[in-house]
Structure 1
Amino acid sequence: MYREASIMRALEHPNLVKLYDLVDDSEQIYLVMELAEGGELFDRIIKRGKFSERDAAIIIAQMLSGVRYMHAAGYVHRDIKPENILFERQTDDSKLLITDFGLSREVQPKMMTNCGTVDYSAPELLKSKLTKSGYGPEVDNWSIGVVSYILLCGYPPFYSVNQDDNEIKKQIMSGTYHFHHPHWDHISKSAKNFIASLLKPDPEERATLDQSLEHPWIRLETSSTLDIYPMIESSMRDTLARQRWRCLGLAANAVNLFTMASPTMVNRCLSTKEQTLNETV
Protein backbone atom coordinates (compact mmCIF):
# COMPACT_ATOMS: atom_id res chain seq x y z
CA MET A 1 0.00 0.00 0.00
CA TYR A 2 2.94 2.32 0.64
CA ARG A 3 4.14 1.71 -2.91
CA GLU A 4 0.66 2.43 -4.27
CA ALA A 5 0.58 5.69 -2.33
CA SER A 6 4.04 6.62 -3.61
CA ILE A 7 2.93 6.13 -7.21
CA MET A 8 -0.29 8.09 -6.70
CA ARG A 9 1.65 10.98 -5.21
CA ALA A 10 3.89 11.04 -8.27
CA LEU A 11 0.92 11.37 -10.64
CA GLU A 12 -1.30 14.39 -11.18
CA HIS A 13 -3.80 14.24 -14.02
CA PRO A 14 -7.52 15.13 -14.24
CA ASN A 15 -8.43 11.51 -15.06
CA LEU A 16 -6.34 9.85 -12.34
CA VAL A 17 -7.86 9.78 -8.86
CA LYS A 18 -5.94 12.01 -6.45
CA LEU A 19 -4.37 10.88 -3.19
CA TYR A 20 -4.73 13.52 -0.47
CA ASP A 21 -3.19 11.73 2.48
CA LEU A 22 -1.99 8.42 3.93
CA VAL A 23 -2.94 7.71 7.55
CA ASP A 24 -1.22 4.95 9.54
CA ASP A 25 -2.67 4.43 13.02
CA SER A 26 -0.36 1.44 13.75
CA GLU A 27 -3.20 -1.02 13.17
CA GLN A 28 -4.54 0.02 9.76
CA ILE A 29 -3.41 2.09 6.81
CA TYR A 30 -5.90 4.45 5.20
CA LEU A 31 -5.59 6.17 1.83
CA VAL A 32 -7.54 9.43 1.74
CA MET A 33 -8.50 9.89 -1.91
CA GLU A 34 -10.55 12.14 -4.13
CA LEU A 35 -14.28 11.54 -3.72
CA ALA A 36 -15.97 9.87 -6.70
CA GLU A 37 -19.71 10.39 -6.27
CA GLY A 38 -20.59 9.31 -9.80
CA GLY A 39 -20.05 5.60 -9.17
CA GLU A 40 -18.57 2.85 -11.34
CA LEU A 41 -18.66 2.83 -15.13
CA PHE A 42 -21.27 0.10 -15.75
CA ASP A 43 -23.51 1.26 -12.90
CA ARG A 44 -23.47 4.76 -14.33
CA ILE A 45 -24.44 3.61 -17.83
CA ILE A 46 -27.27 1.43 -16.51
CA LYS A 47 -28.55 4.20 -14.24
CA ARG A 48 -28.61 6.73 -17.11
CA GLY A 49 -30.53 4.33 -19.35
CA LYS A 50 -29.09 5.68 -22.58
CA PHE A 51 -25.74 5.30 -24.30
CA SER A 52 -24.22 5.93 -27.71
CA GLU A 53 -20.93 5.41 -29.54
CA ARG A 54 -20.25 9.08 -28.93
CA ASP A 55 -20.66 8.57 -25.17
CA ALA A 56 -18.30 5.59 -25.34
CA ALA A 57 -15.71 7.57 -27.32
CA ILE A 58 -15.75 10.39 -24.74
CA ILE A 59 -15.17 7.85 -21.96
CA ILE A 60 -12.37 6.06 -23.80
CA ALA A 61 -10.68 9.35 -24.73
CA GLN A 62 -10.37 10.20 -21.02
CA MET A 63 -8.97 6.74 -20.27
CA LEU A 64 -6.43 7.13 -23.07
CA SER A 65 -5.40 10.55 -21.79
CA GLY A 66 -4.91 9.37 -18.20
CA VAL A 67 -2.98 6.24 -19.13
CA ARG A 68 -0.83 8.12 -21.66
CA TYR A 69 0.15 10.49 -18.86
CA MET A 70 1.03 7.52 -16.63
CA HIS A 71 3.22 5.97 -19.31
CA ALA A 72 4.96 9.28 -20.02
CA ALA A 73 5.68 9.58 -16.29
CA GLY A 74 7.25 6.11 -16.35
CA TYR A 75 4.45 4.01 -14.83
CA VAL A 76 2.20 1.20 -16.06
CA HIS A 77 -1.23 0.56 -14.50
CA ARG A 78 -1.69 -3.19 -15.24
CA ASP A 79 -5.28 -3.40 -13.99
CA ILE A 80 -7.40 -1.30 -16.34
CA LYS A 81 -10.98 -2.62 -16.14
CA PRO A 82 -14.51 -1.20 -15.73
CA GLU A 83 -14.52 -1.67 -11.94
CA ASN A 84 -11.54 0.69 -11.71
CA ILE A 85 -13.23 3.44 -13.71
CA LEU A 86 -15.20 5.86 -11.53
CA PHE A 87 -16.81 9.25 -12.09
CA GLU A 88 -16.31 12.38 -10.05
CA ARG A 89 -19.96 13.45 -10.11
CA GLN A 90 -23.35 12.07 -11.15
CA THR A 91 -23.88 14.73 -13.82
CA ASP A 92 -23.67 13.82 -17.51
CA ASP A 93 -20.56 15.96 -18.02
CA SER A 94 -18.63 14.45 -15.08
CA LYS A 95 -15.00 13.63 -15.64
CA LEU A 96 -13.77 10.05 -15.43
CA LEU A 97 -11.31 8.88 -12.75
CA ILE A 98 -8.99 5.89 -13.13
CA THR A 99 -8.47 4.24 -9.74
CA ASP A 100 -6.72 1.33 -7.98
CA PHE A 101 -2.98 1.60 -8.49
CA GLY A 102 -2.23 -1.48 -6.39
CA LEU A 103 -0.68 -3.31 -9.35
CA SER A 104 0.96 -0.25 -10.89
CA ARG A 105 4.73 -0.19 -11.20
CA GLU A 106 7.53 1.84 -12.67
CA VAL A 107 8.07 0.72 -16.25
CA GLN A 108 10.98 -1.71 -16.60
CA PRO A 109 12.56 -3.05 -19.83
CA LYS A 110 11.11 -6.55 -19.39
CA MET A 111 8.37 -6.89 -16.80
CA MET A 112 7.50 -10.49 -15.93
CA THR A 113 4.85 -10.40 -13.19
CA ASN A 114 1.59 -12.06 -14.24
CA CYS A 115 -1.05 -9.88 -12.62
CA GLY A 116 -4.37 -8.17 -13.16
CA THR A 117 -7.73 -9.61 -14.23
CA VAL A 118 -7.55 -12.34 -16.88
CA ASP A 119 -10.37 -10.95 -19.04
CA TYR A 120 -8.43 -7.72 -19.60
CA SER A 121 -4.89 -9.17 -19.73
CA ALA A 122 -2.77 -8.75 -22.86
CA PRO A 123 -1.32 -11.86 -24.59
CA GLU A 124 2.28 -10.89 -23.84
CA LEU A 125 1.49 -10.55 -20.13
CA LEU A 126 -0.06 -14.02 -20.00
CA LYS A 127 2.92 -15.48 -21.89
CA SER A 128 5.62 -13.59 -20.01
CA LYS A 129 6.64 -16.33 -17.59
CA LEU A 130 6.54 -19.01 -20.30
CA THR A 131 8.45 -17.14 -23.00
CA LYS A 132 10.67 -15.11 -20.64
CA SER A 133 10.23 -12.27 -23.13
CA GLY A 134 8.47 -9.97 -20.67
CA TYR A 135 6.10 -7.15 -21.53
CA GLY A 136 5.87 -3.39 -21.60
CA PRO A 137 3.30 -0.65 -20.89
CA GLU A 138 1.42 -1.65 -24.07
CA VAL A 139 -0.53 -4.10 -21.89
CA ASP A 140 -2.63 -1.11 -20.79
CA ASN A 141 -3.45 -0.30 -24.43
CA TRP A 142 -4.84 -3.82 -24.86
CA SER A 143 -6.97 -3.48 -21.71
CA ILE A 144 -8.46 -0.23 -23.02
CA GLY A 145 -9.33 -2.10 -26.22
CA VAL A 146 -11.18 -4.75 -24.20
CA VAL A 147 -13.11 -2.11 -22.24
CA SER A 148 -14.00 -0.36 -25.52
CA TYR A 149 -15.37 -3.61 -26.93
CA ILE A 150 -17.56 -4.21 -23.87
CA LEU A 151 -18.94 -0.68 -23.90
CA LEU A 152 -20.33 -1.17 -27.40
CA CYS A 153 -21.95 -4.59 -26.99
CA GLY A 154 -22.18 -5.28 -23.25
CA TYR A 155 -20.06 -8.44 -23.16
CA PRO A 156 -16.28 -9.12 -23.33
CA PRO A 157 -14.41 -10.15 -26.50
CA PHE A 158 -12.84 -13.13 -24.72
CA TYR A 159 -15.39 -15.16 -22.83
CA SER A 160 -16.04 -18.59 -21.31
CA VAL A 161 -19.57 -19.79 -20.53
CA ASN A 162 -18.12 -21.76 -17.60
CA GLN A 163 -15.92 -18.88 -16.46
CA ASP A 164 -12.89 -21.03 -17.28
CA ASP A 165 -9.84 -18.77 -17.04
CA ASN A 166 -7.71 -21.21 -19.05
CA GLU A 167 -10.19 -21.08 -21.92
CA ILE A 168 -10.19 -17.28 -21.79
CA LYS A 169 -6.37 -17.23 -21.78
CA LYS A 170 -6.25 -19.42 -24.89
CA GLN A 171 -8.60 -17.06 -26.72
CA ILE A 172 -6.56 -14.04 -25.69
CA MET A 173 -3.21 -15.54 -26.64
CA SER A 174 -4.55 -16.52 -30.06
CA GLY A 175 -6.13 -13.09 -30.49
CA THR A 176 -9.44 -14.75 -31.38
CA TYR A 177 -12.49 -12.51 -31.08
CA HIS A 178 -15.44 -11.55 -33.29
CA PHE A 179 -17.90 -8.75 -33.91
CA HIS A 180 -20.93 -11.00 -33.64
CA HIS A 181 -24.21 -10.68 -35.54
CA PRO A 182 -26.59 -9.12 -34.62
CA HIS A 183 -24.95 -7.40 -31.63
CA TRP A 184 -22.47 -5.45 -33.76
CA ASP A 185 -24.64 -4.75 -36.81
CA HIS A 186 -25.53 -1.25 -35.58
CA ILE A 187 -21.95 -0.33 -34.60
CA SER A 188 -19.92 1.80 -37.03
CA LYS A 189 -16.95 0.48 -39.01
CA SER A 190 -14.86 3.22 -37.46
CA ALA A 191 -15.58 1.96 -33.93
CA LYS A 192 -14.66 -1.59 -34.95
CA ASN A 193 -11.47 -0.31 -36.58
CA PHE A 194 -10.52 1.52 -33.38
CA ILE A 195 -11.02 -1.61 -31.26
CA ALA A 196 -9.14 -3.81 -33.74
CA SER A 197 -6.18 -1.42 -33.63
CA LEU A 198 -5.81 -2.02 -29.88
CA LEU A 199 -6.56 -5.75 -29.81
CA LYS A 200 -3.45 -6.68 -31.79
CA PRO A 201 -1.74 -9.73 -30.19
CA ASP A 202 1.67 -8.36 -31.18
CA PRO A 203 2.35 -5.30 -28.98
CA GLU A 204 4.58 -3.82 -31.68
CA GLU A 205 1.60 -3.75 -34.06
CA ARG A 206 -0.80 -2.42 -31.44
CA ALA A 207 -1.89 1.20 -31.72
CA THR A 208 -0.02 3.59 -29.45
CA LEU A 209 -1.99 5.83 -27.12
CA ASP A 210 -1.04 8.87 -29.20
CA GLN A 211 -2.36 7.15 -32.32
CA SER A 212 -5.52 6.12 -30.50
CA LEU A 213 -6.23 9.68 -29.35
CA GLU A 214 -5.96 10.82 -32.97
CA HIS A 215 -8.35 8.16 -34.27
CA PRO A 216 -11.38 9.77 -35.99
CA TRP A 217 -13.76 7.74 -33.82
CA ILE A 218 -12.18 9.08 -30.62
CA ARG A 219 -12.14 12.61 -32.06
CA LEU A 220 -15.94 12.27 -32.47
CA GLU A 221 -15.70 12.63 -36.24
CA THR A 222 -17.21 9.21 -36.97
CA SER A 223 -18.81 8.12 -33.69
CA SER A 224 -22.56 7.57 -34.01
CA THR A 225 -25.09 9.28 -31.74
CA LEU A 226 -27.57 6.39 -32.05
CA ASP A 227 -28.80 5.21 -28.63
CA ILE A 228 -27.46 1.64 -28.34
CA TYR A 229 -28.47 1.11 -24.70
CA PRO A 230 -31.56 -1.01 -25.54
CA MET A 231 -29.25 -3.37 -27.47
CA ILE A 232 -26.56 -3.67 -24.79
CA GLU A 233 -28.50 -3.41 -21.51
CA SER A 234 -29.13 -7.13 -20.93
CA SER A 235 -25.57 -8.17 -21.78
CA MET A 236 -24.06 -5.37 -19.71
CA ARG A 237 -26.15 -6.32 -16.66
CA ASP A 238 -25.04 -9.95 -17.07
CA THR A 239 -21.39 -8.92 -17.40
CA LEU A 240 -21.65 -6.72 -14.31
CA ALA A 241 -23.23 -9.56 -12.31
CA ARG A 242 -20.51 -12.03 -13.35
CA GLN A 243 -17.78 -9.60 -12.38
CA ARG A 244 -19.28 -9.08 -8.94
CA TRP A 245 -19.70 -12.80 -8.35
CA ARG A 246 -16.07 -13.30 -9.32
CA CYS A 247 -14.98 -10.58 -6.89
CA LEU A 248 -17.01 -12.19 -4.12
CA GLY A 249 -15.43 -15.56 -4.90
CA LEU A 250 -11.92 -14.13 -4.80
CA ALA A 251 -12.67 -12.36 -1.52
CA ALA A 252 -14.07 -15.55 0.02
CA ASN A 253 -10.99 -17.53 -1.03
CA ALA A 254 -8.72 -14.90 0.45
CA VAL A 255 -10.61 -14.98 3.77
CA ASN A 256 -10.46 -18.79 3.85
CA LEU A 257 -6.73 -18.83 3.19
CA PHE A 258 -6.15 -16.19 5.85
CA THR A 259 -8.31 -18.05 8.39
CA MET A 260 -6.47 -21.34 7.81
CA ALA A 261 -3.04 -19.74 8.11
CA SER A 262 -0.96 -20.36 11.23
CA PRO A 263 -0.68 -17.56 13.82
CA THR A 264 2.92 -17.04 12.76
CA MET A 265 1.87 -16.57 9.13
CA VAL A 266 -0.95 -14.20 10.12
CA ASN A 267 1.44 -12.07 12.17
CA ARG A 268 3.85 -12.05 9.25
CA CYS A 269 1.09 -10.84 6.91
CA LEU A 270 0.02 -8.13 9.32
CA SER A 271 3.56 -6.86 9.72
CA THR A 272 4.35 -6.58 6.02
CA LYS A 273 3.45 -2.89 6.07
CA GLU A 274 6.59 -2.34 8.16
CA GLN A 275 8.81 -4.06 5.65
CA THR A 276 10.22 -2.89 2.36
CA LEU A 277 8.85 -5.19 -0.31
CA ASN A 278 10.72 -5.82 -3.52
CA GLU A 279 8.99 -7.36 -6.53
CA THR A 280 10.63 -9.12 -9.44
CA VAL A 281 9.15 -7.32 -12.45
Structure 2
Amino acid sequence: NRYKLIDQPLGKGANGIVSLAYDTTEKLLVAIKQINKTLTKDIQSMMREILIISKCHHENIISFKDYHEDAEFIYIIQELASGGELFRHIVKRKYYTEYHAKVFTRQLLSAVNYLHSNNVIHLDIKPENILLKQIPEDYDKNDYFKPIIKLSDFGLSQIFNPEIQLKQSGGTPGYAAPEVLRRQALDFKADIYSIGVVTHTLLTGQLPFNGYNPKEIVGNQLKNNWQFKMEISTEAQHFIKQCLEYDPCKRPSIQQLLRFDWLQMKGTKLIRELHLGREQLKRYLCIQKLRMGMQYVLLLLNESE
Protein backbone atom coordinates (compact mmCIF):
# COMPACT_ATOMS: atom_id res chain seq x y z
CA ASN A 1 0.00 0.00 0.00
CA ARG A 2 2.99 2.32 0.36
CA TYR A 3 3.46 2.68 -3.41
CA LYS A 4 0.65 3.91 -5.64
CA LEU A 5 1.14 3.02 -9.29
CA ILE A 6 0.55 5.79 -11.80
CA ASP A 7 -0.63 4.68 -15.22
CA GLN A 8 2.48 5.92 -17.00
CA PRO A 9 5.01 3.37 -18.32
CA LEU A 10 8.57 4.68 -18.23
CA GLY A 11 10.12 1.82 -20.17
CA LYS A 12 9.44 -1.59 -21.64
CA GLY A 13 11.50 -4.74 -21.91
CA ALA A 14 11.32 -8.44 -22.69
CA ASN A 15 10.53 -9.41 -19.06
CA GLY A 16 8.33 -6.56 -17.90
CA ILE A 17 7.88 -2.82 -17.65
CA VAL A 18 9.10 0.14 -15.58
CA SER A 19 6.26 2.26 -14.23
CA LEU A 20 5.90 5.57 -12.44
CA ALA A 21 4.66 5.37 -8.84
CA TYR A 22 4.15 7.57 -5.78
CA ASP A 23 5.80 6.76 -2.46
CA THR A 24 3.20 7.74 0.12
CA THR A 25 5.73 7.53 2.96
CA GLU A 26 8.52 9.69 1.54
CA LYS A 27 6.08 11.79 -0.50
CA LEU A 28 7.94 11.52 -3.78
CA LEU A 29 7.78 9.87 -7.20
CA VAL A 30 9.70 6.64 -7.77
CA ALA A 31 10.19 4.10 -10.54
CA ILE A 32 8.99 0.52 -10.10
CA LYS A 33 10.48 -2.22 -12.24
CA GLN A 34 7.87 -4.99 -12.56
CA ILE A 35 9.34 -8.33 -13.65
CA ASN A 36 6.96 -11.06 -14.75
CA LYS A 37 8.17 -14.29 -13.11
CA THR A 38 6.70 -16.48 -15.84
CA LEU A 39 8.76 -14.65 -18.48
CA THR A 40 11.97 -14.65 -16.46
CA LYS A 41 14.08 -17.74 -17.02
CA ASP A 42 16.62 -17.00 -14.31
CA ILE A 43 15.15 -15.80 -11.01
CA GLN A 44 18.59 -16.21 -9.42
CA SER A 45 19.98 -13.50 -11.72
CA MET A 46 17.12 -11.23 -10.73
CA MET A 47 17.93 -11.68 -7.06
CA ARG A 48 21.59 -10.99 -7.80
CA GLU A 49 20.55 -7.70 -9.44
CA ILE A 50 18.66 -6.72 -6.30
CA LEU A 51 21.64 -7.62 -4.12
CA ILE A 52 24.02 -5.54 -6.26
CA ILE A 53 21.92 -2.38 -6.57
CA SER A 54 20.96 -2.46 -2.89
CA LYS A 55 24.65 -2.06 -2.01
CA CYS A 56 25.45 0.66 -4.57
CA HIS A 57 25.65 4.21 -3.24
CA HIS A 58 27.00 6.60 -5.87
CA GLU A 59 25.75 9.85 -7.36
CA ASN A 60 25.85 8.45 -10.90
CA ILE A 61 24.16 5.12 -10.16
CA ILE A 62 20.40 4.79 -9.85
CA SER A 63 19.60 4.22 -6.18
CA PHE A 64 17.68 1.25 -4.79
CA LYS A 65 14.78 1.92 -2.43
CA ASP A 66 12.76 -1.24 -1.85
CA TYR A 67 11.85 -4.71 -3.08
CA HIS A 68 8.64 -6.76 -3.02
CA GLU A 69 7.28 -9.82 -4.75
CA ASP A 70 4.04 -11.72 -5.12
CA ALA A 71 3.03 -14.90 -6.94
CA GLU A 72 3.25 -13.24 -10.36
CA PHE A 73 5.71 -10.33 -10.19
CA ILE A 74 8.95 -9.14 -8.66
CA TYR A 75 8.89 -5.39 -7.90
CA ILE A 76 12.10 -3.36 -7.65
CA ILE A 77 11.53 0.19 -6.39
CA GLN A 78 14.19 2.65 -7.48
CA GLU A 79 14.98 6.33 -7.60
CA LEU A 80 13.17 8.13 -10.40
CA ALA A 81 15.47 9.63 -13.04
CA SER A 82 12.95 12.18 -14.26
CA GLY A 83 15.27 13.55 -16.97
CA GLY A 84 14.77 10.42 -19.08
CA GLU A 85 17.34 8.88 -21.39
CA LEU A 86 20.57 10.79 -21.96
CA PHE A 87 20.36 10.57 -25.75
CA ARG A 88 16.88 12.09 -25.83
CA HIS A 89 18.26 15.06 -23.92
CA ILE A 90 21.09 15.50 -26.41
CA VAL A 91 18.88 15.67 -29.50
CA LYS A 92 16.78 18.40 -27.85
CA ARG A 93 19.75 20.65 -27.07
CA LYS A 94 20.30 23.60 -29.37
CA TYR A 95 24.03 23.42 -28.84
CA TYR A 96 25.96 20.17 -28.33
CA THR A 97 29.73 19.87 -28.40
CA GLU A 98 32.59 17.56 -27.51
CA TYR A 99 32.72 19.38 -24.20
CA HIS A 100 29.24 18.12 -23.32
CA ALA A 101 30.08 14.58 -24.46
CA LYS A 102 33.17 14.67 -22.27
CA VAL A 103 31.09 15.76 -19.23
CA PHE A 104 28.76 12.79 -19.71
CA THR A 105 31.64 10.35 -20.25
CA ARG A 106 33.42 11.49 -17.08
CA GLN A 107 30.31 10.75 -15.03
CA LEU A 108 29.90 7.34 -16.65
CA LEU A 109 33.52 6.53 -15.83
CA SER A 110 32.98 7.64 -12.23
CA ALA A 111 30.03 5.25 -11.89
CA VAL A 112 31.90 2.33 -13.46
CA ASN A 113 35.00 3.06 -11.38
CA TYR A 114 32.82 2.73 -8.26
CA LEU A 115 31.40 -0.58 -9.51
CA HIS A 116 34.79 -2.03 -10.40
CA SER A 117 36.21 -0.91 -7.04
CA ASN A 118 33.45 -3.00 -5.47
CA ASN A 119 34.07 -6.01 -7.74
CA VAL A 120 30.94 -5.47 -9.84
CA ILE A 121 30.92 -5.73 -13.65
CA HIS A 122 27.88 -4.07 -15.20
CA LEU A 123 27.93 -5.92 -18.57
CA ASP A 124 25.10 -3.94 -20.14
CA ILE A 125 26.38 -0.39 -20.53
CA LYS A 126 24.42 1.16 -23.40
CA PRO A 127 22.54 4.42 -24.10
CA GLU A 128 19.17 3.09 -22.95
CA ASN A 129 20.66 2.40 -19.52
CA ILE A 130 22.08 5.91 -19.03
CA LEU A 131 19.43 8.19 -17.57
CA LEU A 132 19.37 11.78 -16.32
CA LYS A 133 18.46 12.75 -12.75
CA GLN A 134 16.40 15.77 -13.78
CA ILE A 135 16.25 18.50 -16.41
CA PRO A 136 15.01 22.04 -15.71
CA GLU A 137 12.58 23.46 -18.25
CA ASP A 138 14.97 26.20 -19.37
CA TYR A 139 18.15 24.11 -19.52
CA ASP A 140 18.68 25.03 -23.18
CA LYS A 141 19.34 28.64 -22.20
CA ASN A 142 22.51 27.53 -20.43
CA ASP A 143 25.06 25.96 -22.77
CA TYR A 144 27.13 24.75 -19.81
CA PHE A 145 24.32 23.12 -17.86
CA LYS A 146 25.65 19.75 -16.67
CA PRO A 147 22.95 17.12 -16.11
CA ILE A 148 23.70 14.33 -13.65
CA ILE A 149 23.63 10.92 -15.34
CA LYS A 150 22.38 7.76 -13.65
CA LEU A 151 23.62 4.34 -14.73
CA SER A 152 20.75 1.85 -14.47
CA ASP A 153 19.63 -1.73 -15.20
CA PHE A 154 21.89 -4.24 -13.46
CA GLY A 155 20.07 -7.27 -14.83
CA LEU A 156 23.21 -8.73 -16.43
CA SER A 157 25.67 -7.57 -13.78
CA GLN A 158 28.07 -10.00 -12.15
CA ILE A 159 30.17 -10.02 -9.00
CA PHE A 160 33.77 -10.65 -10.03
CA ASN A 161 35.81 -13.31 -8.24
CA PRO A 162 39.35 -13.80 -9.61
CA GLU A 163 39.29 -17.43 -8.47
CA ILE A 164 36.22 -18.27 -10.55
CA GLN A 165 36.15 -18.05 -14.34
CA LEU A 166 33.28 -15.78 -15.31
CA LYS A 167 31.33 -16.18 -18.55
CA GLN A 168 28.21 -14.30 -19.59
CA SER A 169 25.66 -15.05 -22.26
CA GLY A 170 23.53 -12.25 -23.62
CA GLY A 171 24.51 -8.63 -23.89
CA THR A 172 23.44 -6.07 -26.46
CA PRO A 173 24.75 -6.41 -30.05
CA GLY A 174 26.92 -3.42 -30.86
CA TYR A 175 27.75 -2.70 -27.21
CA ALA A 176 28.74 -6.04 -25.64
CA ALA A 177 32.45 -6.85 -25.79
CA PRO A 178 33.65 -9.58 -28.20
CA GLU A 179 34.51 -11.91 -25.31
CA VAL A 180 30.91 -11.58 -24.08
CA LEU A 181 29.50 -12.29 -27.55
CA ARG A 182 31.79 -15.34 -27.86
CA ARG A 183 30.91 -16.49 -24.31
CA GLN A 184 34.55 -16.50 -23.33
CA ALA A 185 36.09 -15.74 -19.94
CA LEU A 186 35.66 -12.08 -19.05
CA ASP A 187 36.52 -9.48 -16.46
CA PHE A 188 36.22 -5.72 -15.89
CA LYS A 189 37.60 -4.98 -19.37
CA ALA A 190 34.24 -5.97 -20.88
CA ASP A 191 32.77 -2.77 -19.44
CA ILE A 192 35.65 -0.72 -20.90
CA TYR A 193 34.71 -1.89 -24.39
CA SER A 194 31.08 -0.84 -23.87
CA ILE A 195 32.22 2.57 -22.60
CA GLY A 196 34.14 3.00 -25.85
CA VAL A 197 31.04 2.24 -27.93
CA VAL A 198 28.87 4.61 -25.88
CA THR A 199 31.46 7.40 -26.17
CA HIS A 200 31.69 6.89 -29.93
CA THR A 201 27.90 7.10 -30.15
CA LEU A 202 27.83 10.21 -27.95
CA LEU A 203 30.24 11.94 -30.32
CA THR A 204 29.02 10.70 -33.70
CA GLY A 205 25.43 9.58 -33.18
CA GLN A 206 26.07 6.11 -34.52
CA LEU A 207 27.63 2.78 -33.63
CA PRO A 208 31.22 2.13 -34.72
CA PHE A 209 30.04 -1.04 -36.45
CA ASN A 210 27.91 -1.01 -39.60
CA GLY A 211 25.03 -3.43 -39.98
CA TYR A 212 21.40 -3.55 -41.06
CA ASN A 213 20.53 -6.00 -38.29
CA PRO A 214 22.04 -7.33 -35.03
CA LYS A 215 23.67 -10.29 -36.82
CA GLU A 216 25.59 -8.01 -39.21
CA ILE A 217 26.60 -5.69 -36.38
CA VAL A 218 27.94 -8.58 -34.31
CA GLY A 219 29.74 -9.95 -37.37
CA ASN A 220 31.60 -6.66 -37.82
CA GLN A 221 32.34 -6.51 -34.10
CA LEU A 222 33.92 -9.96 -34.15
CA LYS A 223 35.95 -8.99 -37.24
CA ASN A 224 36.95 -5.75 -35.47
CA ASN A 225 35.80 -3.99 -38.62
CA TRP A 226 35.19 -0.30 -37.94
CA GLN A 227 36.49 3.21 -38.55
CA PHE A 228 35.62 6.79 -37.61
CA LYS A 229 32.99 8.24 -39.93
CA MET A 230 33.00 11.75 -38.45
CA GLU A 231 35.68 14.25 -37.55
CA ILE A 232 36.27 14.37 -33.81
CA SER A 233 39.35 15.42 -31.86
CA THR A 234 42.50 13.31 -31.99
CA GLU A 235 42.33 12.88 -28.21
CA ALA A 236 38.75 11.56 -28.40
CA GLN A 237 39.72 9.14 -31.16
CA HIS A 238 42.60 7.81 -29.06
CA PHE A 239 40.29 7.33 -26.06
CA ILE A 240 37.78 5.35 -28.13
CA LYS A 241 40.40 3.27 -29.95
CA GLN A 242 41.94 2.14 -26.67
CA CYS A 243 38.55 1.15 -25.27
CA LEU A 244 37.68 -0.83 -28.42
CA GLU A 245 40.84 -2.91 -28.47
CA TYR A 246 39.72 -6.39 -29.50
CA ASP A 247 42.05 -8.06 -27.01
CA PRO A 248 40.75 -7.22 -23.51
CA CYS A 249 44.28 -7.40 -22.12
CA LYS A 250 45.21 -4.39 -24.28
CA ARG A 251 42.33 -2.24 -23.05
CA PRO A 252 43.08 0.25 -20.26
CA SER A 253 41.60 -0.12 -16.81
CA ILE A 254 38.96 2.33 -15.62
CA GLN A 255 41.61 4.08 -13.51
CA GLN A 256 43.84 4.51 -16.56
CA LEU A 257 40.94 5.84 -18.64
CA LEU A 258 40.30 8.56 -16.08
CA ARG A 259 43.81 9.90 -16.76
CA PHE A 260 43.46 10.06 -20.56
CA ASP A 261 44.25 13.39 -22.24
CA TRP A 262 40.75 13.78 -23.70
CA LEU A 263 39.20 13.94 -20.23
CA GLN A 264 41.92 16.17 -18.77
CA MET A 265 42.15 18.80 -21.51
CA LYS A 266 40.39 22.12 -21.03
CA GLY A 267 39.79 25.22 -23.10
CA THR A 268 38.27 25.78 -26.54
CA LYS A 269 40.23 23.14 -28.42
CA LEU A 270 37.56 20.52 -27.76
CA ILE A 271 34.59 22.83 -28.23
CA ARG A 272 33.25 21.88 -31.63
CA GLU A 273 29.63 21.58 -32.61
CA LEU A 274 28.33 18.10 -33.38
CA HIS A 275 25.24 18.86 -35.48
CA LEU A 276 25.74 15.80 -37.69
CA GLY A 277 26.18 13.57 -34.65
CA ARG A 278 22.95 14.91 -33.18
CA GLU A 279 21.05 14.20 -36.41
CA GLN A 280 22.43 10.66 -36.39
CA LEU A 281 21.25 10.32 -32.79
CA LYS A 282 17.71 11.25 -33.82
CA ARG A 283 17.72 8.39 -36.33
CA TYR A 284 19.22 6.06 -33.72
CA LEU A 285 16.42 6.91 -31.27
CA CYS A 286 13.73 6.30 -33.90
CA ILE A 287 15.11 2.82 -34.53
CA GLN A 288 15.33 2.06 -30.80
CA LYS A 289 11.77 3.27 -30.25
CA LEU A 290 10.55 0.86 -32.93
CA ARG A 291 12.47 -2.03 -31.35
CA MET A 292 11.08 -1.25 -27.88
CA GLY A 293 7.56 -1.15 -29.30
CA MET A 294 8.04 -4.58 -30.83
CA GLN A 295 9.36 -5.94 -27.51
CA TYR A 296 6.31 -4.60 -25.69
CA VAL A 297 3.94 -6.20 -28.19
CA LEU A 298 5.71 -9.54 -27.67
CA LEU A 299 5.41 -9.08 -23.90
CA LEU A 300 1.66 -8.48 -24.13
CA LEU A 301 1.22 -11.48 -26.43
CA ASN A 302 3.15 -13.72 -24.01
CA GLU A 303 1.05 -12.51 -21.05
CA SER A 304 -2.18 -13.22 -22.90
CA GLU A 305 -1.23 -16.83 -23.65
TM-score by length of 1: 0.83
Q: Are 2:151 and 1:98 equivalent residues in the alignment?
A: yes
Does the 8 Å CA contact 2:98/2:271 hold for their aligned counterparts?
yes
Q: Are 2:234 and 1:189 equivalent residues in the alignment?
A: yes
Secondary structure of the residue aligned to 1:119 is: coil
Mapped to 2, the partners of 1:249 and 1:26 lie a distance apart of: 26
The structure that is helix-richer by fraction is 1
Q: Where has structure 1 moved over 4 Å in runs of 4 or more?
A: 257-260
Q: Name which of 282, 285, 289 aligns with 1:244.
A: 289
| 1:238 CA drift (Å) | 0.6
| 1:11 CA drift (Å) | 1.3
Mapped to 2, the partners of 1:66 and 1:167 lie a distance apart of: 31
Q: Are 2:113 and 1:113 equivalent residues in the alignment?
A: no
Which residue of the partner structure matches residue 67 of structure 1? Answer: 112
Q: 1:60-209 to 2 correspondence within 5 Å?
A: 60-91=105-136, 92-108=145-161, 109-128=164-183, 133-161=184-212, 163=213, 165-180=214-229, 183-184=230-231, 187-209=232-254
Unaligned runs of 5+ in 1: 261-281
Secondary structure of the residue aligned to 2:297 is: helix
Unaligned runs of 5+ in 2: 1-45, 137-144
| 1:81 CA drift (Å) | 0.5
Q: Name which of 225, 238, 241 aligns with 2:271.
A: 225
Secondary structure of the residue aligned to 1:51 is: coil
The superposition leaves residues 225-254 of structure 1 with CA deviations (integer Å, 9 ceiling, x where unpaired) of 1221x2222211111111222222233334
Which residue of the partner structure matches residue 277 of structure 1? Answer: none
| 1:215 CA drift (Å) | 0.6
Mapped to 2, the partners of 1:238 and 1:254 lie a distance apart of: 25
Bigger relative contact order, structure 1 or 2, given CA contacts below 8 A and separation 6+? 1
| 1:86 CA drift (Å) | 0.7
How many percent identity over aligned positions? 32
The superposition leaves residues 176-198 of structure 1 with CA deviations (integer Å, 9 ceiling, x where unpaired) of 11112xx32xx111110110010
> RMSD across aligned C-alpha pairs, in angstroms?
1.8
Does the 8 Å CA contact 1:24/1:30 hold for their aligned counterparts?
yes
TM-score by length of 2: 0.76
Task: Tell me how many residue pairs correspond in the alignment.
Answer: 249
The structure that is strand-richer by fraction is 2
Mapped to 2, the partners of 1:166 and 1:89 lie a distance apart of: 36
Which residue of the partner structure matches residue 12 of structure 2? Answer: none
| 1:26 CA drift (Å) | 5.0
Q: What is the letter of the counterpart of residue 100 of structure 1? A: D
Does the 8 Å CA contact 1:40/1:84 hold for their aligned counterparts?
yes
Which residue of the partner structure matches residue 41 of structure 2? Answer: none
1:254/1:113 Cα in 2 relative to 1: closer, same or farther (>3 Å)?
farther
Q: What is the letter of the counterpart of residue 155 of structure 2? A: G
